[in-house]
Amino acid sequence: MAGESDKNLDKLEELKRKREHILQMGGPKAVEERHKKGQLSARERVDRFFDPGSFSEIGMHVKHRTTAFGMGQREVPAEGVITGFGRVDGRYVVVAAEDFTAMAGTFGEYHGRKFVRAVDFAKENGWPFVGMNDSGGARLQEGMDTLESYGWLFRSQILASGIIPQIALLMGPCLGGQAYHPVMQDFLIQTRHTGFMGIAGPAFVKTQTGEEIGLEELSGYKAHAIKSGQTHVLAEDDADCLDKCKELLSFLPSNNKERPPRIRTDDDPERKEDLLGLLPKHPHEPFDMYEVIGRIVDHGQFFETLGLHARNMITGFARFNGRPVGIVASQPKWMAGCIDIDAADKGARFVRSCDLFNIPLITLVDSPGYLIGSQQDWGGILRHGAKLLFAWADATVPLISIIIRKSYAGAHYGMLDKAIGADFVLAWPTARITIVGAETAASVIFAREIREAGKPDDVRAQRIREYSETYENPYCAAERGYVDDVIDPSDTRKAINRALDALAGKSVARPWRKYSNINL
């Protein structure tokens, strides 16, 4: 019996040695290199992210099976990715954190299998998934096994899409096939100085195309937070990235069967604010929509997404009386709030994301229409612009539109109106709701009269005034039921909260179909 007991103790010691060795990752020197670059190690990121003592690791002892090209003697602790689950602010979340100290966090067959297991586990349990991306890319030594493992992960993520929230944290390099899986998640947060993403790195680009370009210009935050619109949120460093991820999670339910988490607030739901004073005297002068948002949401707190991309459209999360909502707003200070190709894509994706996770949507409208011109037409503004219409018409969550000033032409639908599916449309007395602006309408309807008049400028001014007085006001739309009420701007917060109360039990039944055939 004593002998058996000693053997068991030996096995326990062996387990401890193995665990301690794996926990060392690539070793103290490699971890120190991370710190010199201002980065946390993968395990430090996990420890900082989860509530203390709540993380349980899965797959610590997984090993690759490759023997070619020296891999038979190559040890990769935990296969270069830490997977498991724990609590974040008391709620369960699943993580896959790539470890750059372990063979540069390269993505091989079993690295991929661990990722897939984590995503599937999150989906099966109805918990959010967070991927912490920091990898040298595909593990080329494993050949076809690496290639196939990407496919497994892509399919797993796609099948989990719309069931659980998926958030990618771009905290290091993420190039080649490796870059697809973070982009395919719901939201992507990129660190300003250390996060890089691209379909190929500078060396591959030069080899294949001859173009010489640096990593930061090709794959840094400016490329994706500003130009491509693939980075939703920009973070300063690892700690800020993890904190922003936690904040984002606080607006989202754990899965598509739950409502978003409501919190207690001491901000009066019927608080009045002087909003009319924010508007300039002339209806075509710009104002800052962020000021309106800041005054009506709980405690002025707004979590913006894609804030540096397509800045003529504002998207992000806030709360009304503790309820999470998504906000889609025109920004008159940028391109006069016109909807162009990028703004349409940005808005449509955000609307669909909110609808998937039962988050009510509110629009703040001041847009003269979709942007016109050859470049927009040739770039597919009709196709891209229609995405917004699909998104609104498909949405089943509470939909509330606040028309502040201009709601013209296609933007009337693109920014949510009654016909496309709004539950409530409320207008300020400053709203101008019609097919086109009075200047444009008069120039078409009365073109001949103006042209032949003795004093064309006087006739033009008179006709513009007549058209504006007849149609460019909220009361014409209200008389026909297209606007539910014209409200005092100071009552905007109260009106939104009452509408959300009324729509709390909203339920929509529709004929069965797989999904709408949105023209991507």
User: What are the residue ranges of helices labelled H in 297-408?
Assistant: 341-356, 374-379, 381-394
**For residue 437, with 0-12 CB atoms within 10 Å meaning exposed, 13-18 middle and 19 or more buried, which class applies?**
buried
Choose which CATH entry (3.30.365.10, 3.40.50.2300, 1.10.10.10, 3.90.226.10) describes domain 17-27+34-249. Answer: 3.90.226.10
Q: What is the pLDDT of residues 416-470, one digit of tens each?
A: 999 999 999 999 999 999 877 777 777 777 778 778 778 878 778 778 787 777 7
Residue 9's identity, in one-letter code, is L
Residues spanned by CATH 3.90.226.10 within the chain? 17-27+34-249, 276-437+472-502
CB atoms within 10 A of CB 510: 7
Which of 59, 348, 340, 39 lies closest to 194 in space, CA to CA? 39
Quote the strand ranges of 145-268, DSSP E. 166-170, 173-175, 187-191, 196-198, 233-235
Cα 434 to Cα 441: distance, rounded to the nearest angstrom: 10
Per-residue pLDDT of the chain (520 residues; tens, 9 = 90+): 666 777 888 889 899 999 998 988 888 998 999 999 899 999 999 999 999 999 999 999 999 888 888 888 888 889 999 999 999 999 999 999 999 999 888 888 999 999 999 999 999 999 999 999 999 888 888 889 888 999 999 999 999 999 999 999 999 998 887 888 899 999 999 999 999 999 888 888 888 899 999 989 999 999 999 999 999 999 999 999 999 999 999 999 999 999 999 999 999 999 999 999 999 988 889 999 999 999 999 999 999 999 999 999 999 999 999 999 999 999 999 999 999 999 999 999 999 999 999 999 999 999 999 999 999 999 999 999 999 999 999 999 999 999 999 999 899 999 999 999 999 999 999 999 987 777 777 777 777 877 877 887 877 877 878 777 777 789 989 999 999 999 999 999 999 999 999 999 999 989 999 888 987 7
Catalytic residue among 131, 136, 177, 316: 177
User: What are the residue ranges of helices labelled H in 37-108?
Assistant: 42-49
pLDDT value for 1: 60
pLDDT value for 472: 79
Q: What is the pTM of this model?
A: 0.93
Q: Are 295 and 275 in contact (CB under 8 A)?
A: yes
**Separate counts of helices (H) and strands (E) for the chain:** 20, 17
Q: Is 223 noted as a catalytic residue in this protein?
A: no
Relative orientation angle of helices 289-296 and 492-502, to the nearest 10 degrees: 60
Let me know the angle formed at the C-alpha of 225 by 219 and 226, rounded to the nearest 5 degrees: 100
Backbone phi, psi, residue 315, to 5°? -130, 145
Cα 59 to Cα 57: distance, rounded to the nearest angstrom: 7
Cα distances (Å, whole numbers) of residue 479 to 429, 471, 473, 486, 495: 14, 11, 11, 10, 19
pLDDT value for 200: 85
How would DSSP label each residue in 249-317?
Answer: HTTS-SSTTSPPPP----S-TT-----GGGS-SSTTS---HHHHHHHHSGGG--EEESTTSSTTEEEEE
Q: Is 411 noted as a catalytic residue in this protein?
A: yes
Cα 272 to Cα 275: distance, rounded to the nearest angstrom: 9
Catalytic residue among 112, 316, 410, 421: 410
Q: Is 410 noted as a catalytic residue in this protein?
A: yes
pLDDT value for 429: 96
pLDDT value for 450: 77
What the block records as the tokens of 366 is 């001041």
Which of 114, 72, 80, 119 lies closest to 99 in space, CA to CA? 80
pLDDT value for 496: 98
pLDDT value for 454: 81
Catalytic residue among 344, 411, 438, 495: 411
Catalytic residue among 86, 136, 137, 176: 176
Q: Are 157 and 118 in contact (CB under 8 A)?
A: no
Q: Which residue has the tokens 């990593």?
A: 215
- CATH code of the domain made up of 276-437+472-502: 3.90.226.10
Let me know the angle formed at the C-alpha of 352 by 86 and 46, rounded to the nearest 5 degrees: 20
pLDDT value for 439: 77
